[in-house]
Chain A
Protein backbone atom coordinates (compact mmCIF):
# COMPACT_ATOMS: atom_id res chain seq x y z
CA UNK A 1 0.00 0.00 0.00
CA UNK A 2 1.08 3.60 -0.68
CA UNK A 3 0.56 6.22 2.02
CA UNK A 4 0.20 9.95 1.41
CA UNK A 5 -0.24 12.56 4.15
CA UNK A 6 -2.12 15.63 3.00
CA UNK A 7 -2.26 18.64 5.22
CA UNK A 8 -2.95 22.35 5.00
CA UNK A 9 -4.66 25.29 6.70
CA UNK A 10 -8.44 25.06 7.34
CA UNK A 11 -10.57 25.82 4.25
CA UNK A 12 -7.63 25.72 1.86
CA UNK A 13 -9.39 23.12 -0.30
CA UNK A 14 -7.79 19.87 0.87
CA UNK A 15 -10.95 17.79 0.57
CA UNK A 16 -11.84 19.10 -2.90
CA UNK A 17 -8.32 18.48 -4.15
CA UNK A 18 -8.25 14.96 -2.69
CA UNK A 19 -11.70 14.08 -4.09
CA UNK A 20 -10.81 15.23 -7.61
CA UNK A 21 -7.42 13.53 -7.47
CA UNK A 22 -8.86 10.26 -6.18
CA UNK A 23 -11.16 10.09 -9.22
CA UNK A 24 -8.13 10.03 -11.47
CA UNK A 25 -6.37 7.42 -9.31
CA UNK A 26 -9.49 5.21 -9.31
CA UNK A 27 -9.60 5.35 -13.10
CA UNK A 28 -6.27 3.54 -13.07
CA UNK A 29 -8.03 0.68 -11.28
CA UNK A 30 -6.48 1.42 -7.88
CA UNK A 31 -8.36 1.22 -4.59
CA UNK A 32 -8.11 4.40 -2.53
CA UNK A 33 -9.18 5.10 1.06
CA UNK A 34 -9.12 8.26 3.15
CA UNK A 35 -8.75 8.96 6.85
CA UNK A 36 -9.83 12.45 7.80
CA UNK A 37 -8.42 14.05 10.95
CA UNK A 38 -10.10 17.11 12.38
CA UNK A 39 -10.50 18.94 15.62
CA UNK A 40 -14.12 19.40 16.67
CA UNK A 41 -16.30 18.54 13.71
CA UNK A 42 -16.20 17.38 10.12
CA UNK A 43 -18.75 16.28 7.55
CA UNK A 44 -16.14 15.54 4.95
CA UNK A 45 -16.38 11.82 5.66
CA UNK A 46 -19.87 11.97 4.15
CA UNK A 47 -18.44 13.52 0.98
CA UNK A 48 -15.87 10.75 0.67
CA UNK A 49 -18.42 8.03 1.37
CA UNK A 50 -20.66 9.54 -1.31
CA UNK A 51 -17.80 9.26 -3.77
CA UNK A 52 -17.55 5.57 -2.93
CA UNK A 53 -14.29 5.95 -1.02
CA UNK A 54 -13.74 3.89 2.15
CA UNK A 55 -13.35 6.49 4.89
CA UNK A 56 -12.66 6.84 8.63
CA UNK A 57 -12.66 10.02 10.66
CA UNK A 58 -10.85 10.98 13.83
CA UNK A 59 -11.71 14.00 15.97
CA UNK A 60 -8.99 15.14 18.32
CA UNK A 61 -11.31 17.14 20.59
CA UNK A 62 -9.34 18.67 23.45
CA UNK A 63 -6.03 17.23 22.26
CA UNK A 64 -3.59 18.88 19.89
CA UNK A 65 -4.70 17.52 16.47
CA UNK A 66 -1.17 16.78 15.27
CA UNK A 67 -0.26 14.88 18.45
CA UNK A 68 -3.54 13.00 18.00
CA UNK A 69 -2.55 12.20 14.43
CA UNK A 70 0.82 10.73 15.31
CA UNK A 71 -0.67 8.69 18.19
CA UNK A 72 -3.13 7.09 15.78
CA UNK A 73 -1.33 6.80 12.47
CA UNK A 74 -0.18 3.19 12.93
CA UNK A 75 -3.77 2.03 13.63
CA UNK A 76 -4.87 4.02 10.58
CA UNK A 77 -2.29 2.26 8.42
CA UNK A 78 -3.45 -1.12 9.72
CA UNK A 79 -7.03 -0.19 8.78
CA UNK A 80 -5.85 0.65 5.27
CA UNK A 81 -3.99 -2.64 4.96
CA UNK A 82 -7.11 -4.53 6.12
CA UNK A 83 -9.24 -2.68 3.55
CA UNK A 84 -6.76 -3.88 0.94
CA UNK A 85 -6.09 -0.35 -0.29
CA UNK A 86 -3.54 0.51 -2.95
CA UNK A 87 -3.41 4.09 -1.71
CA UNK A 88 -4.27 5.48 1.70
CA UNK A 89 -4.61 9.25 1.99
CA UNK A 90 -4.68 10.97 5.38
CA UNK A 91 -6.10 14.45 5.52
CA UNK A 92 -5.44 16.80 8.42
CA UNK A 93 -5.69 20.52 9.04
CA UNK A 94 -2.69 22.38 10.35
CA UNK A 95 -4.20 24.53 13.02
CA UNK A 96 -1.33 26.36 14.73
CA UNK A 97 1.08 26.58 11.75
CA UNK A 98 3.86 25.16 13.90
CA UNK A 99 3.40 21.39 13.56
CA UNK A 100 3.09 19.04 10.69
CA UNK A 101 2.09 15.39 10.47
CA UNK A 102 4.69 14.47 7.85
CA UNK A 103 6.65 11.27 8.28
CA UNK A 104 10.08 10.53 6.84
CA UNK A 105 9.88 8.41 3.65
CA UNK A 106 6.11 8.96 3.38
CA UNK A 107 4.90 11.29 0.63
CA UNK A 108 3.80 14.64 2.07
CA UNK A 109 1.44 17.04 0.29
CA UNK A 110 0.62 20.53 1.57
CA UNK A 111 -2.47 22.34 0.24
CA UNK A 112 -2.47 26.11 0.53
CA UNK A 113 -4.63 28.72 -1.19
CA UNK A 114 -3.90 31.92 -3.09
CA UNK A 115 -6.46 33.83 -1.06
CA UNK A 116 -4.55 33.37 2.17
CA UNK A 117 -2.25 36.25 1.28
CA UNK A 118 1.30 36.43 0.00
CA UNK A 119 2.86 36.50 3.46
CA UNK A 120 1.30 33.19 4.41
CA UNK A 121 4.17 31.04 3.11
CA UNK A 122 6.37 32.84 5.63
CA UNK A 123 3.96 32.12 8.49
CA UNK A 124 3.54 28.40 7.96
CA UNK A 125 6.25 26.23 9.44
CA UNK A 126 7.24 22.62 8.68
CA UNK A 127 3.81 21.82 7.21
CA UNK A 128 4.76 23.88 4.15
CA UNK A 129 8.53 23.87 4.36
CA UNK A 130 9.02 20.12 4.53
CA UNK A 131 6.30 19.00 2.10
CA UNK A 132 7.29 17.09 -1.07
CA UNK A 133 4.44 18.54 -3.11
CA UNK A 134 2.80 21.91 -2.54
CA UNK A 135 -0.64 22.31 -4.11
CA UNK A 136 -1.85 25.88 -4.57
CA UNK A 137 -5.62 26.29 -4.91
CA UNK A 138 -8.15 29.04 -5.71
CA UNK A 139 -6.01 30.33 -8.57
CA UNK A 140 -9.14 30.96 -10.60
CA UNK A 141 -10.12 33.96 -8.50
CA UNK A 142 -6.89 35.91 -8.11
CA UNK A 143 -4.84 37.69 -10.74
CA UNK A 144 -2.03 36.05 -12.68
CA UNK A 145 0.44 38.37 -10.94
CA UNK A 146 -0.68 37.29 -7.47
CA UNK A 147 -0.48 33.64 -8.50
CA UNK A 148 3.08 34.13 -9.71
CA UNK A 149 4.15 36.07 -6.62
CA UNK A 150 2.52 33.52 -4.31
CA UNK A 151 4.18 30.57 -6.06
CA UNK A 152 7.56 32.26 -5.93
CA UNK A 153 7.13 32.87 -2.18
CA UNK A 154 6.32 29.20 -1.72
CA UNK A 155 9.45 28.25 -3.64
CA UNK A 156 11.58 30.51 -1.50
CA UNK A 157 10.59 28.66 1.69
CA UNK A 158 10.57 25.20 0.10
CA UNK A 159 12.70 25.25 -3.04
CA UNK A 160 12.81 21.49 -3.38
CA UNK A 161 9.07 20.89 -3.45
CA UNK A 162 7.06 20.30 -6.61
CA UNK A 163 4.59 23.19 -6.79
CA UNK A 164 1.29 22.49 -8.55
CA UNK A 165 -1.79 24.58 -9.21
CA UNK A 166 -5.12 22.84 -8.81
CA UNK A 167 -8.63 24.15 -9.24
CA UNK A 168 -10.68 22.25 -6.67
CA UNK A 169 -13.93 23.13 -8.44
CA UNK A 170 -13.16 22.06 -12.01
CA UNK A 171 -10.43 19.60 -11.05
CA UNK A 172 -7.93 21.21 -13.43
CA UNK A 173 -4.52 19.96 -12.30
CA UNK A 174 -5.89 17.04 -10.23
CA UNK A 175 -5.07 14.43 -12.86
CA UNK A 176 -1.51 15.73 -12.88
CA UNK A 177 -1.25 15.40 -9.09
CA UNK A 178 -2.63 11.87 -9.28
CA UNK A 179 0.37 10.78 -11.36
CA UNK A 180 2.62 11.61 -8.41
CA UNK A 181 0.68 9.84 -5.68
CA UNK A 182 1.05 6.17 -6.46
CA UNK A 183 4.30 4.38 -7.06
CA UNK A 184 4.07 0.63 -7.71
CA UNK A 185 7.53 0.14 -6.19
CA UNK A 186 6.43 1.38 -2.78
CA UNK A 187 4.71 -0.90 -0.27
CA UNK A 188 4.04 0.30 3.25
CA UNK A 189 2.41 -2.15 5.68
CA UNK A 190 3.39 -0.38 8.89
CA UNK A 191 4.81 2.98 10.00
CA UNK A 192 6.09 1.57 13.29
CA UNK A 193 9.66 2.70 13.77
CA UNK A 194 9.39 5.50 11.22
CA UNK A 195 10.01 9.06 12.35
CA UNK A 196 8.25 12.37 12.04
CA UNK A 197 10.01 14.85 9.76
CA UNK A 198 9.86 17.46 12.47
CA UNK A 199 9.35 17.35 16.21
CA UNK A 200 6.03 18.58 17.57
CA UNK A 201 6.22 21.39 20.08
CA UNK A 202 6.35 20.64 23.77
CA UNK A 203 3.56 22.70 25.24
CA UNK A 204 2.74 21.19 28.55
CA UNK A 205 1.49 23.86 30.96
CA UNK A 206 -1.31 24.22 33.45
CA UNK A 207 -3.68 25.39 30.71
CA UNK A 208 -3.13 22.13 28.81
CA UNK A 209 -4.48 20.43 31.91
CA UNK A 210 -7.69 22.43 32.08
CA UNK A 211 -6.71 25.52 34.14
CA UNK A 212 -8.98 28.50 33.41
CA UNK A 213 -7.84 31.12 35.89
CA UNK A 214 -5.50 33.87 34.70
CA UNK A 215 -2.39 35.08 36.56
CA UNK A 216 1.16 33.98 37.46
CA UNK A 217 -0.08 31.93 40.43
CA UNK A 218 -1.85 29.51 38.12
CA UNK A 219 0.86 29.16 35.47
CA UNK A 220 2.96 26.05 35.83
CA UNK A 221 5.13 23.95 33.58
CA UNK A 222 6.33 25.12 30.20
CA UNK A 223 5.45 28.83 30.27
CA UNK A 224 7.11 31.52 28.19
CA UNK A 225 6.60 35.27 28.49
CA UNK A 226 6.55 37.88 25.72
CA UNK A 227 9.15 40.61 25.86
CA UNK A 228 7.20 43.76 26.59
CA UNK A 229 10.07 46.22 27.20
CA UNK A 230 10.96 48.65 24.41
Chain B
Protein backbone atom coordinates (compact mmCIF):
# COMPACT_ATOMS: atom_id res chain seq x y z
CA UNK B 1 0.00 0.00 0.00
CA UNK B 2 1.25 3.42 -1.02
CA UNK B 3 2.16 5.86 1.78
CA UNK B 4 0.90 9.43 2.05
CA UNK B 5 4.41 10.76 1.51
CA UNK B 6 5.02 8.83 -1.74
CA UNK B 7 1.59 9.85 -2.97
CA UNK B 8 2.48 13.54 -2.55
CA UNK B 9 5.57 13.18 -4.71
CA UNK B 10 3.94 11.23 -7.53
CA UNK B 11 2.91 13.10 -10.65
CA UNK B 12 -0.80 13.45 -11.29
CA UNK B 13 -0.34 11.51 -14.53
CA UNK B 14 1.22 8.64 -12.62
CA UNK B 15 -1.53 8.68 -9.99
CA UNK B 16 -4.23 8.52 -12.67
CA UNK B 17 -2.43 5.75 -14.55
CA UNK B 18 -2.01 3.65 -11.44
CA UNK B 19 -5.41 4.38 -9.88
CA UNK B 20 -7.79 5.26 -12.74
CA UNK B 21 -10.72 5.59 -10.30
CA UNK B 22 -9.11 8.71 -8.78
CA UNK B 23 -10.47 10.61 -11.79
CA UNK B 24 -13.86 10.57 -10.02
CA UNK B 25 -12.24 11.99 -6.91
CA UNK B 26 -10.60 14.87 -8.81
CA UNK B 27 -13.75 15.60 -10.80
CA UNK B 28 -16.08 15.63 -7.80
CA UNK B 29 -13.69 17.84 -5.86
CA UNK B 30 -13.55 20.18 -8.86
CA UNK B 31 -9.81 19.85 -9.31
CA UNK B 32 -8.99 20.41 -12.98
CA UNK B 33 -5.93 18.44 -13.93
CA UNK B 34 -5.61 19.43 -17.60
CA UNK B 35 -2.06 20.49 -18.35
CA UNK B 36 -0.86 19.49 -14.87
CA UNK B 37 -0.28 15.79 -15.57
CA UNK B 38 3.47 16.12 -15.07
CA UNK B 39 3.25 18.08 -11.78
CA UNK B 40 3.46 16.19 -8.54
CA UNK B 41 0.39 16.21 -6.31
CA UNK B 42 2.18 18.45 -3.80
CA UNK B 43 3.22 20.97 -6.48
CA UNK B 44 -0.23 20.96 -8.03
CA UNK B 45 -1.89 21.74 -4.71
CA UNK B 46 0.66 24.48 -3.98
CA UNK B 47 -0.35 26.45 -7.08
CA UNK B 48 -3.66 27.65 -5.63
CA UNK B 49 -3.34 31.19 -4.31
CA UNK B 50 -5.07 32.41 -1.20
CA UNK B 51 -7.92 33.92 -3.18
CA UNK B 52 -8.69 30.65 -4.95
CA UNK B 53 -8.50 28.75 -1.66
CA UNK B 54 -10.92 31.20 -0.04
CA UNK B 55 -13.30 31.43 -3.00
CA UNK B 56 -13.60 27.77 -3.80
CA UNK B 57 -13.25 26.49 -0.26
CA UNK B 58 -10.20 24.39 -0.99
CA UNK B 59 -8.51 22.66 1.94
CA UNK B 60 -5.15 21.42 0.71
CA UNK B 61 -4.23 19.31 3.69
CA UNK B 62 -7.65 17.70 3.65
CA UNK B 63 -7.46 16.94 -0.07
CA UNK B 64 -4.16 15.10 0.42
CA UNK B 65 -5.57 13.08 3.29
CA UNK B 66 -8.86 12.43 1.51
CA UNK B 67 -7.20 11.27 -1.72
CA UNK B 68 -5.11 8.86 0.30
CA UNK B 69 -8.19 7.58 2.13
CA UNK B 70 -10.13 7.32 -1.12
CA UNK B 71 -7.44 5.24 -2.84
CA UNK B 72 -7.24 2.97 0.19
CA UNK B 73 -11.02 2.58 0.29
CA UNK B 74 -11.37 1.85 -3.42
CA UNK B 75 -8.52 -0.66 -3.40
CA UNK B 76 -10.06 -2.56 -0.55
CA UNK B 77 -13.45 -2.38 -2.25
CA UNK B 78 -11.96 -3.88 -5.43
CA UNK B 79 -10.06 -6.44 -3.40
CA UNK B 80 -12.91 -7.82 -1.34
CA UNK B 81 -15.49 -7.82 -4.10
CA UNK B 82 -14.86 -11.50 -4.82
CA UNK B 83 -14.15 -13.00 -1.43
CA UNK B 84 -16.76 -11.11 0.55
CA UNK B 85 -19.40 -13.75 -0.10
CA UNK B 86 -22.25 -14.04 2.35
CA UNK B 87 -23.40 -17.66 2.33
CA UNK B 88 -25.74 -17.48 5.25
CA UNK B 89 -27.35 -15.08 7.64
CA UNK B 90 -28.40 -16.14 11.13
CA UNK B 91 -30.78 -14.25 13.39
CA UNK B 92 -30.41 -15.09 17.10
CA UNK B 93 -33.54 -14.33 19.13
CA UNK B 94 -33.91 -11.12 21.08
CA UNK B 95 -37.00 -9.58 22.64
CA UNK B 96 -40.21 -7.83 21.60
CA UNK B 97 -41.32 -4.32 22.58
CA UNK B 98 -42.53 -5.49 26.00
CA UNK B 99 -39.22 -7.18 26.76
CA UNK B 100 -40.60 -10.73 26.23
CA UNK B 101 -38.05 -13.14 24.79
CA UNK B 102 -38.78 -14.12 21.19
CA UNK B 103 -40.13 -17.65 20.82
CA UNK B 104 -37.52 -19.02 18.42
CA UNK B 105 -33.86 -19.69 19.18
CA UNK B 106 -32.20 -18.97 15.88
CA UNK B 107 -33.08 -18.72 12.21
CA UNK B 108 -30.53 -19.34 9.48
CA UNK B 109 -31.21 -18.08 5.98
CA UNK B 110 -29.00 -19.26 3.15
CA UNK B 111 -28.04 -17.87 -0.24
CA UNK B 112 -30.93 -18.19 -2.71
CA UNK B 113 -33.52 -18.60 0.07
CA UNK B 114 -36.69 -16.55 -0.11
CA UNK B 115 -38.22 -15.47 3.20
CA UNK B 116 -41.46 -13.54 3.59
CA UNK B 117 -42.01 -11.14 6.47
CA UNK B 118 -45.62 -10.53 7.53
CA UNK B 119 -47.21 -8.45 10.25
CA UNK B 120 -49.20 -5.23 10.59
CA UNK B 121 -47.68 -1.81 9.89
CA UNK B 122 -45.57 -0.65 12.80
CA UNK B 123 -45.10 -4.20 14.10
CA UNK B 124 -41.33 -4.06 13.73
CA UNK B 125 -40.49 -5.04 10.16
CA UNK B 126 -38.23 -2.02 9.71
CA UNK B 127 -36.46 -2.78 12.97
CA UNK B 128 -35.75 -6.36 11.84
CA UNK B 129 -34.25 -5.01 8.64
CA UNK B 130 -32.36 -2.41 10.64
CA UNK B 131 -30.93 -5.17 12.85
CA UNK B 132 -29.72 -7.07 9.79
CA UNK B 133 -28.23 -4.03 8.10
CA UNK B 134 -26.48 -2.93 11.29
CA UNK B 135 -25.36 -6.53 12.01
CA UNK B 136 -26.81 -6.15 15.49
CA UNK B 137 -24.78 -7.62 18.30
CA UNK B 138 -27.34 -7.55 21.13
CA UNK B 139 -26.84 -3.78 21.02
CA UNK B 140 -30.11 -2.65 19.42
CA UNK B 141 -33.52 -2.24 21.12
CA UNK B 142 -34.52 -5.81 20.14
CA UNK B 143 -31.29 -7.31 21.55
CA UNK B 144 -31.06 -9.58 18.52
CA UNK B 145 -27.73 -10.82 17.26
CA UNK B 146 -26.92 -11.28 13.58
CA UNK B 147 -24.33 -13.79 12.41
CA UNK B 148 -22.86 -13.89 8.91
CA UNK B 149 -21.63 -17.29 7.74
CA UNK B 150 -22.25 -18.49 11.29
CA UNK B 151 -19.90 -15.99 12.88
CA UNK B 152 -20.06 -12.57 14.51
CA UNK B 153 -19.52 -10.31 11.54
CA UNK B 154 -16.84 -7.77 10.80
CA UNK B 155 -17.87 -4.23 11.77
CA UNK B 156 -17.11 -3.12 8.20
CA UNK B 157 -20.74 -3.84 7.30
CA UNK B 158 -21.85 -1.10 9.64
CA UNK B 159 -19.90 1.79 8.27
CA UNK B 160 -18.82 0.98 4.76
CA UNK B 161 -20.80 2.93 2.22
CA UNK B 162 -19.75 0.76 -0.70
CA UNK B 163 -20.35 -2.61 0.95
CA UNK B 164 -23.88 -2.41 2.25
CA UNK B 165 -25.33 -5.68 3.43
CA UNK B 166 -28.89 -4.94 2.33
CA UNK B 167 -30.25 -3.56 -0.93
CA UNK B 168 -33.86 -2.37 -0.81
CA UNK B 169 -36.63 -2.38 -3.38
CA UNK B 170 -39.89 -0.79 -2.43
CA UNK B 171 -43.21 0.17 -3.88
CA UNK B 172 -42.61 3.91 -3.48
CA UNK B 173 -39.33 3.97 -5.32
CA UNK B 174 -38.93 6.06 -8.43
CA UNK B 175 -36.18 7.07 -10.75
CA UNK B 176 -35.38 10.72 -10.17
CA UNK B 177 -32.52 11.11 -12.63
CA UNK B 178 -33.16 12.46 -16.07
CA UNK B 179 -31.19 9.88 -18.06
CA UNK B 180 -31.82 7.16 -20.62
CA UNK B 181 -31.93 3.57 -19.41
CA UNK B 182 -28.50 2.97 -20.98
CA UNK B 183 -26.89 6.03 -19.37
CA UNK B 184 -28.49 5.14 -16.07
CA UNK B 185 -27.09 1.61 -15.95
CA UNK B 186 -23.71 2.87 -17.14
CA UNK B 187 -23.59 5.39 -14.30
CA UNK B 188 -24.38 2.70 -11.77
CA UNK B 189 -21.80 0.35 -13.31
CA UNK B 190 -19.15 3.09 -13.15
CA UNK B 191 -19.80 3.72 -9.47
CA UNK B 192 -19.32 -0.02 -8.88
CA UNK B 193 -16.04 0.03 -10.86
CA UNK B 194 -17.33 -2.72 -13.14
CA UNK B 195 -14.79 -3.69 -15.81
CA UNK B 196 -16.95 -5.19 -18.56
CA UNK B 197 -19.51 -2.38 -18.65
CA UNK B 198 -21.01 -3.07 -22.09
CA UNK B 199 -21.59 -6.71 -21.22
CA UNK B 200 -23.23 -5.88 -17.90
CA UNK B 201 -25.49 -3.25 -19.48
CA UNK B 202 -26.63 -5.74 -22.13
CA UNK B 203 -27.28 -8.36 -19.45
CA UNK B 204 -29.40 -5.99 -17.34
CA UNK B 205 -31.57 -4.71 -20.17
CA UNK B 206 -32.17 -8.27 -21.35
CA UNK B 207 -33.11 -9.43 -17.87
CA UNK B 208 -35.36 -6.39 -17.31
CA UNK B 209 -37.19 -6.96 -20.57
CA UNK B 210 -37.64 -10.60 -19.64
CA UNK B 211 -39.53 -9.44 -16.53
CA UNK B 212 -41.48 -6.51 -17.97
CA UNK B 213 -44.83 -6.89 -19.72
CA UNK B 214 -43.90 -4.19 -22.22
CA UNK B 215 -40.43 -4.04 -23.73
CA UNK B 216 -38.20 -0.98 -23.54
CA UNK B 217 -34.78 -0.07 -24.93
CA UNK B 218 -31.51 1.48 -23.77
CA UNK B 219 -32.63 4.76 -25.34
CA UNK B 220 -35.85 5.02 -23.28
CA UNK B 221 -35.62 7.80 -20.65
CA UNK B 222 -35.94 6.24 -17.18
CA UNK B 223 -38.54 8.81 -16.20
CA UNK B 224 -40.91 7.66 -18.95
CA UNK B 225 -40.88 3.98 -17.95
CA UNK B 226 -44.21 2.58 -16.76
CA UNK B 227 -44.54 1.32 -13.20
CA UNK B 228 -44.00 -2.28 -14.27
CA UNK B 229 -41.01 -1.41 -16.46
CA UNK B 230 -39.44 0.65 -13.66
CA UNK B 231 -39.79 -2.22 -11.22
CA UNK B 232 -38.35 -4.62 -13.79
CA UNK B 233 -35.33 -2.40 -14.37
CA UNK B 234 -34.81 -1.83 -10.64
CA UNK B 235 -34.93 -5.53 -9.91
CA UNK B 236 -32.65 -6.52 -12.80
CA UNK B 237 -30.19 -3.78 -11.89
CA UNK B 238 -30.18 -4.73 -8.20
CA UNK B 239 -29.80 -8.43 -8.99
CA UNK B 240 -26.89 -7.94 -11.37
CA UNK B 241 -25.09 -4.75 -10.34
CA UNK B 242 -25.66 -4.27 -6.63
CA UNK B 243 -22.97 -5.81 -4.44
CA UNK B 244 -25.32 -6.20 -1.49
CA UNK B 245 -25.83 -9.92 -0.81
CA UNK B 246 -29.25 -9.44 0.79
CA UNK B 247 -32.21 -7.90 -1.02
CA UNK B 248 -35.24 -6.63 0.84
CA UNK B 249 -38.40 -6.28 -1.19
CA UNK B 250 -41.25 -4.23 0.20
CA UNK B 251 -44.19 -5.52 -1.89
CA UNK B 252 -44.09 -5.79 -5.67
CA UNK B 253 -47.31 -4.68 -7.29
CA UNK B 254 -48.78 -7.25 -9.61
CA UNK B 255 -48.88 -5.10 -12.73
CA UNK B 256 -46.64 -5.06 -15.76
CA UNK B 257 -44.10 -7.43 -14.26
CA UNK B 258 -43.67 -11.18 -13.90
CA UNK B 259 -42.98 -11.47 -10.19
CA UNK B 260 -42.08 -15.13 -10.23
CA UNK B 261 -39.39 -14.53 -12.83
CA UNK B 262 -38.21 -11.52 -10.81
CA UNK B 263 -37.66 -13.63 -7.71
CA UNK B 264 -35.96 -16.33 -9.78
CA UNK B 265 -33.58 -13.73 -11.18
CA UNK B 266 -32.59 -12.50 -7.71
CA UNK B 267 -32.20 -16.01 -6.36
CA UNK B 268 -30.26 -17.02 -9.48
CA UNK B 269 -27.78 -14.23 -8.75
CA UNK B 270 -27.30 -15.87 -5.33
CA UNK B 271 -29.02 -13.18 -3.30
CA UNK B 272 -30.76 -13.81 -0.01
CA UNK B 273 -34.27 -12.46 -0.55
CA UNK B 274 -36.44 -11.03 2.24
CA UNK B 275 -39.91 -9.86 1.27
CA UNK B 276 -42.23 -7.75 3.38
CA UNK B 277 -45.55 -8.59 1.79
CA UNK B 278 -49.18 -9.45 2.37
CA UNK B 279 -49.71 -10.47 -1.22
CA UNK B 280 -50.66 -14.16 -1.14
CA UNK B 281 -48.81 -15.09 -4.34
CA UNK B 282 -45.57 -13.50 -3.16
CA UNK B 283 -45.83 -14.71 0.42
CA UNK B 284 -46.43 -18.30 -0.68
CA UNK B 285 -43.50 -18.23 -3.10
CA UNK B 286 -41.26 -17.93 -0.04
CA UNK B 287 -39.86 -21.00 1.67
CA UNK B 288 -40.63 -19.58 5.11
CA UNK B 289 -42.66 -16.79 6.66
CA UNK B 290 -41.54 -14.70 9.59
CA UNK B 291 -44.54 -13.40 11.56
CA UNK B 292 -43.84 -10.18 13.44
CA UNK B 293 -45.94 -9.00 16.36
CA UNK B 294 -45.29 -6.24 18.88
CA UNK B 295 -41.71 -5.74 17.68
CA UNK B 296 -40.74 -9.38 18.01
CA UNK B 297 -40.66 -12.46 15.79
CA UNK B 298 -43.75 -14.31 17.03
CA UNK B 299 -43.66 -17.30 14.67
CA UNK B 300 -41.67 -18.79 11.83
CA UNK B 301 -43.91 -20.76 9.45
CA UNK B 302 -42.72 -23.14 6.74
CA UNK B 303 -44.80 -22.94 3.59
CA UNK B 304 -46.83 -26.17 3.60
CA UNK B 305 -47.55 -28.51 0.66
CA UNK B 306 -51.15 -27.44 0.85
CA UNK B 307 -50.11 -23.80 0.56
CA UNK B 308 -47.95 -24.66 -2.43
CA UNK B 309 -51.10 -26.06 -4.12
CA UNK B 310 -52.90 -22.80 -3.36
CA UNK B 311 -49.93 -20.99 -4.89
CA UNK B 312 -50.29 -23.01 -8.12
CA UNK B 313 -53.91 -21.84 -8.40
CA UNK B 314 -52.97 -18.25 -7.64
CA UNK B 315 -50.28 -18.34 -10.30
CA UNK B 316 -52.85 -19.51 -12.85
CA UNK B 317 -55.13 -16.66 -11.88
CA UNK B 318 -52.22 -14.22 -12.18
CA UNK B 319 -51.42 -15.60 -15.63
CA UNK B 320 -55.03 -15.07 -16.73
CA UNK B 321 -54.97 -11.47 -15.58
CA UNK B 322 -51.65 -10.92 -17.33
CA UNK B 323 -53.10 -12.21 -20.60
CA UNK B 324 -56.19 -10.04 -20.28
CA UNK B 325 -53.95 -7.06 -19.71
CA UNK B 326 -51.86 -7.90 -22.77
CA UNK B 327 -55.03 -8.13 -24.89
CA UNK B 328 -56.23 -4.75 -23.66
CA UNK B 329 -52.84 -3.19 -24.26
CA UNK B 330 -52.75 -4.58 -27.80
CA UNK B 331 -56.15 -3.03 -28.51
CA UNK B 332 -57.93 -6.39 -28.81
CA UNK B 333 -61.24 -7.57 -27.41
CA UNK B 334 -60.66 -9.80 -24.40
CA UNK B 335 -61.72 -13.41 -24.90
CA UNK B 336 -64.06 -15.06 -22.45
CA UNK B 337 -62.48 -18.52 -22.34
CA UNK B 338 -60.41 -18.17 -19.20
CA UNK B 339 -62.63 -20.03 -16.71
CA UNK B 340 -60.79 -23.32 -16.90
CA UNK B 341 -57.33 -21.88 -17.31
Tell whether, in the assembled complex, residue B28 and residue A156 are in contact, meaning their CB atoms are under 8 Å apart: yes
* Partner among B29, B54, B184 whose Cβ is within 8 Å of the Cβ of A199: B54
Tell whether, in the assembled complex, residue B238 and residue A145 are in contact, meaning their CB atoms are under 8 Å apart: yes
Given A126-B57, A143-B173, A146-B177, CB of A151 within 8 Å of CB of B237: no
**Interface size classification for chain B:** 35 or more
* Partner among B73, B161, B176 whose Cβ is within 8 Å of the Cβ of A117: B176
Contacts of B73 in A (CB 8 A): 155, 159
Q: For the complex, give the distance between the alpha carbons of A157 and B59 in Å.
A: 12
Q: For the complex, give the distance between the alpha carbons of A155 and B193 in Å.
A: 14
Q: For the complex, give the distance between the alpha carbons of A164 and B130 in Å.
A: 12
Q: In the complex, which residues 3-57 of chain B have their Cβ closer than 8 Å to any Cβ of chain A? A: 24-25, 27-30, 54-55, 57
CB distance from B146 to the nearest CB of A (A): 13
Q: In the complex, which residues 119-169 of chain A have their Cβ closer than 8 Å to any Cβ of chain B? A: 121-122, 125-126, 129-130, 139-149, 151-160, 162-163, 165, 167
Among the 9-residue stretches B86-94, B134-142, B330-338, the one with 4 or more Cβ atoms under 8 Å from chain A is: B134-142
Given A145-B184, A145-B237, A175-B141, CB of A140 within 8 Å of CB of B70: no
Tell whether, in the assembled complex, residue B57 and residue A141 are in contact, meaning their CB atoms are under 8 Å apart: no
User: Is A183 on the interface with B (CB-CB < 8 A)?
Assistant: no
Tell whether, in the assembled complex, residue B161 and residue A152 are in contact, meaning their CB atoms are under 8 Å apart: yes
Would you give the 0/1 interface string for B59-98, flagging 1 where the beta carbon is closer than 8 Å to chain A? 1001001100110010000000000000000000000000
**Interface size classification for chain A:** 35 or more
Given A153-B28, A175-B130, CB of A148 within 8 Å of CB of B191: yes
Tell whether, in the assembled complex, residue A143 and residue B28 are in contact, meaning their CB atoms are under 8 Å apart: no
Tell whether, in the assembled complex, residue B187 and residue A149 are in contact, meaning their CB atoms are under 8 Å apart: yes
Given A148-B188, A172-B129, A176-B134, CB of A143 within 8 Å of CB of B54: no
* Partner among B161, B173, B176 whose Cβ is within 8 Å of the Cβ of A140: B173
**Smallest Cβ-Cβ distance to A127: which chain B residue:** B57
Q: For the complex, give the distance between the alpha carbons of A24 and B139 in Å.
A: 12
* Partner among A114, A145, A173 whose Cβ is within 8 Å of the Cβ of B130: A173
CB distance from A197 to the nearest CB of B (A): 8
Contacts of A155 in B (CB 8 A): 70, 73, 161-162
Given A117-B176, A122-B28, CB of A149 within 8 Å of CB of B141: no
Contacts of A129 in B (CB 8 A): 29, 57, 59, 62, 66
CB distance from B190 to the nearest CB of A (A): 8
* Partner among A130, A139, A153, A224 whose Cβ is within 8 Å of the Cβ of B168: A139
Q: For the complex, give the distance between the alpha carbons of A175 and B129 in Å.
A: 12
Given A126-B59, A130-B62, A160-B65, CB of A142 within 8 Å of CB of B174: yes
User: Is B180 on the interface with A (CB-CB < 8 A)?
Assistant: no
Tell whether, in the assembled complex, residue A142 and residue B59 are in contact, meaning their CB atoms are under 8 Å apart: no
Contacts of A152 in B (CB 8 A): 161-162, 191
Q: Which residues of B contact A (CB under 8 A)?
A: 24-25, 27-30, 54-55, 57, 59, 62, 65-66, 69-70, 73, 126-127, 129-130, 133-134, 139-141, 158-159, 161-162, 164, 167-170, 172-177, 184-185, 187-188, 191-192, 230, 234, 237-238, 241-242
In order of increasing CB-CB distance, the 7 nearest A-B pairs are A163-B161, A159-B70, A125-B57, A159-B69, A152-B191, A145-B188, A156-B28
Beyond contacts A114-B176, A118-B187, A122-B28: 4 other A-B pairs, Cβ-Cβ < 8 A, are A121-B28, A159-B73, A175-B141, A198-B59
22 sampled A-B residue pairs with Cβ under 8 A: A122-B27, A122-B30, A141-B173, A142-B173, A143-B237, A144-B169, A144-B173, A144-B237, A145-B184, A145-B188, A145-B241, A147-B168, A148-B242, A152-B161, A152-B162, A156-B24, A159-B25, A160-B65, A160-B66, A163-B161, A175-B134, A198-B59
